[in-house]
Amino acid sequence: MTGGTAFVSDKIGDKFTAWDGYIKGKNLVLEPYNKIVQSWRSTNFEDHEDDSQIEVILNEGDSETKLTLIHTNVPESGEHYKKGWYEHYFEPMKRYFELLNKA
């Protein structure tokens, strides 16, 4: 969907990578069909900076699923990540699911 290589596991405590290793982290909470919480950092993080955290919450409705993303503990230099979520995840995801719905 995004065009980058990714690896993710369905086990709490396992590591993941995305965008050919540009992003890495660990699964902290996995609630099937409801919530994913992961530690998260890119190669742009400084060594002294703590991991940030992402929380993906899924709320299923009658004909759609609402996805809420909460990204916390982002370094001050990380304002570009907000734009990146839209450009590299949400917009491709929207196009992907639109194509699926047409099929």
Tokens of 32: 């099937």
Give tens-digit pLDDT for 23-36.
999 999 999 999 99
C-alpha–C-alpha distance, residues 43 and 97, integer Å = 29
Q: How far is CA 101 from the centre of its chain?
A: 23
Q: How confident is the model at residue 56 (pLDDT cuts 50, 70, 90)?
A: very high
Residue 74 · residue 90 · CB < 8 Å: no
Sequence spans of domains, the chain: 15-102
Residue 84 CB contacts under 8 Å (≥ 6 apart), including other chains? none
pTM of the entire structure? 0.84
Which CATH number applies to 15-102: 3.30.450.20, 3.30.530.20, 3.90.1150.10, 3.40.50.620? 3.30.530.20
Q: How confident is the model at residue 1 (pLDDT cuts 50, 70, 90)?
A: low
